[in-house]
Amino acid sequence: MYTLSKNLKLIPIILMVVGAIGLAIGFTTTPSTIEEVKEQLASHHDAHGAAHAPAAAHGAHDKAEHGHGHDTHKAADTHGAHAAKSHDAHDSDKHYEHVLHQLQNKPWAALYVAAFFFFMIALGVLAFYAIQFAAQAGWSPLLLRVMEGITAYLLPGGIILFVILALSGFHMNHLFVWMDPEVVAHDELIQGKSGWLNVPFFLIRAAIYIGVWSLYRHFAVKYSRNQDESPEGNVWYKKSFKLAAVFLVFFIYSESMMSWDWIMSFDPHWFSTLFGWYVFASLFVSGITVIALVTIYLKSKGYLEQVNDSHIHDLAKFMFGISVFWTYLWFSQFMLIWYSNIPEEVTYFITRINDFKLPFFGMLIMNFLFPILLLINSDYKRINWLVVMGGIVILLGHYIDVFNMVMPATVGKSWFIGISEISAVLLFLGIFIYVVFNALTKAPLVPKGNPLLEESKHFHY
Amino acid sequence: MASKVVHAYYLDDEVLMDAVKALKIKHYHIEEVFTPFPVHGLDKLMGLPHTRLAICSFLYGLVGLTVAVTMMNYIMIEDWPQDIGGKPSFSYIENLPSFIPIMFELTVFFAAHLMVITFYMRSKLWPFKKAENPDERTTDDHFLVEVDASHTNVDELTAFLKDTGAVEINLKDKE
């Protein structure tokens, strides 16, 4: 039986408090009027200029930097014909109103990205858990309780996410542009999609996804406990097997629709057919990475003695393989759109490459290049601290991935990884650790009734 | 000096593994083991060094990647930078996405084929090569351990092998 250490009782609470305070600061410092935006931009502009003043010798460079800070709107405006006009209209209130909406979105978007990121970890682990049952994997039963612990975050995380979605639906923020009736009234493209993209249906769908996923989690865990109590005949194990198969069918449909609803609808003018798979790869690899990290942590504390290097090796192989799978989907989506260069599709990537160059291409290094070079070696996959290091980079990379999917449509050029973003991550990290490690104390860490347990104990690669 | 070897035959891979283990403990020198199928863990038991084929393959992959990049950079960017359907051919990086499928395939091609050829060369396999198999039965259902007998007491060794469960023991001259 696992018991929480003193540190693990304290750390998540500190994280939650710090995160909540930071997020509150983020919300209170957002401008509420155009005048405040002007003030904020002016002070930012001055600071920027001052910092570059000593480097006056680099005239051209200074000017370029300068333009970046102030005149990006003019230079990087993607609405071709509009660009010339916006030069004159630059100082008009229209521009500041635009920036105001972006800045008001910023803490909300930071909250949303973090909420979704931690939720998708739990969801990825749930999918992996179901696959272990459906595939009757012989290596993993020792890790099933770890997975059950991590998926405990699914319901609370889902409820938080649902509340944020509902707040958007009740116009507390401008995260989803299609939820704004004024925008829809002037936008025929969104009008055409309003049969799917309308708030009541959107919330009903969200409730169904979260509800059914949580139901699967609830019964899977219950059956797993029952199997411990009465292992004769494997009655509960067989039920788990069937349930997992049914869940996986539902999951692959609902996950795809979830990705349209919760991520793709930030850009309601844009669509991509492999987007659901892309989001799936992201959540799957994050989930597997967290399983590896939690397993290594528990093992290092002496709670999972029977877990050996081969189990870690297998998890690391999954981290490696699914990282490459994610890259494959990322590239397939990017290259197809880049190659054909159809204006209605390509704006998605143009805004990201123009305004999010570092996170957009940086995540490729974190999610592909780093894991592929680090985890390609068979011996390295057995070295715990290397797996932990790789895992942390993969997780950060996939946070940036979600960031890249959400931010361009919500805050656009006003993005910045600052107090709001970091605090939101800390807040949800605190909740995640609290929920997961508390759930781990609820049951023995070895599912002793599992018929494949003996095989898993002697698993050797 | 003509060297002698003893061929010991076994009918089961478990018995074979135990025999190899016993031979190792007694410090007999095992020249070769012939089996009809891969026996898991036999290489570890015999103390064979780890294969370095994977490292070769990784390096070959890098060669393939370099070939792909150099080739396309020369052809598409330097030699004749045509405008083909509006693709930007001003620099390699600008047109990179369209080159990636070829970069990937050539990396895999080089890694796979050169690794296979390396394997053939290292294990001395080629068409029309004379089979080195000392006994046809080892490709079907017999396991054979070839033990060096030049510097040991043959009778002692034979008795020892008999104890390990060998079904047939022959003393042979090694060519």
pLDDT the model gives residue A91: 56
Judging contacts by C-beta atoms under 8 Å, the chain A residues touching residue B97 are 331, 334-335, 338-339
- Residues from A contacting B (CB-CB < 8 Å) are 331, 334-335, 338-339, 341, 376, 378
Query: Would you place residue A61 in the very low, low, confident or very high pLDDT band (cuts 50, 70, 90)?
Result: very low
Mean pLDDT of A411-431: 93
Q: How much is the pLDDT for A84?
A: 41
**Minimum-distance CB partner of A335 among B58, B86, B97:** B97
Decide: residue A324, CB within 10 A, 0-12 exposed, 13-18 middle, 19+ buried.
middle
CB neighbour list of residue A15: distance below 8 Å, 6 or more residues apart: A426, A427, A429, A430, A433
* pLDDT attached to residue A60: 38
Q: Which residues of A touch B98 (CB under 8 A)?
A: 335, 339
* Nearest-angstrom CA–CA distance, A88 and A6: 61
What are the chain A neighbours of B100 within 8 Å (beta carbons)? 331, 335
Hey, what are A409's tokens? 């449509």
Q: Residue B120 has what DSSP assignment?
A: H
CB-CB under 8 Å, B98 with A335: yes
- Report whether pLDDT(A305) > 50: yes
ipTM score of complex: 0.90
Residue A331: list chain B partners with CB under 8 A.
97, 100
Decide: helix, strand or coil at residue B23: helix
Tell me if residue B165 falls in helix, strand or coil.
coil
pLDDT of residue A74: 38
Residue A67's pLDDT band (boundaries 50, 70, 90)? very low
Residue of A nearest to B55 (CA): A377
CB contact (8 A) between residue A331 and residue B100: yes
The two tokens of residue A61 are 């460079």
Interchain contact, B98 vs A334, CB within 8 Å: no
Q: List the single residue in B with minimal CA-CA distance to A330.
A: B97
pLDDT higher than 80, residue A73? no
- Copy the structure tokens of residue B153: 């007491």
CA angle, A285 as apex, A280 and A290 as ends, to 5°? 125
Cβ(B10)–Cβ(B19) below 8 Å? yes
What pLDDT is stored for residue A62 in this prediction? 39
* Interface touch B97/A341, C-beta < 8 Å: no
Q: What is the mean pLDDT of residues A245-258?
A: 96
The whole model's pTM is what? 0.88
Of A338, A376, A378, the CB nearest to B97: A338
Average model confidence (pLDDT) across chain A: 88
To the nearest whole Å, the CA of B143 is away from the closest chain A CA by 25
Angle between helical axes of A34-52 and A59-70 (0-180°, round to 10): 160
Nearest to A334 among B58, B86, B97 (CB): B97
Chain B residues within 8 A (CB-CB) of chain A?
A: 54, 58, 86, 97-98, 100
The encoded tokens of residue A458 equal 């002697």
Yes or no, beta carbons of B86 and A341 under 8 Å apart? yes
What is the structure's pLDDT at A80?
Answer: 41
- Among the residue ranges A29-38, A66-75, A246-255, the one predicted with the least confidence is A66-75
pLDDT range class, residue A101, cuts 50, 70, 90: confident
Q: How far apart are CA A7 and CA B2, in angstroms?
A: 73
Series of mean pLDDT values for 10-residue runs along chain B (175 residues): 83 93 91 93 90 95 97 96 93 95 97 97 94 90 90 86 90 80
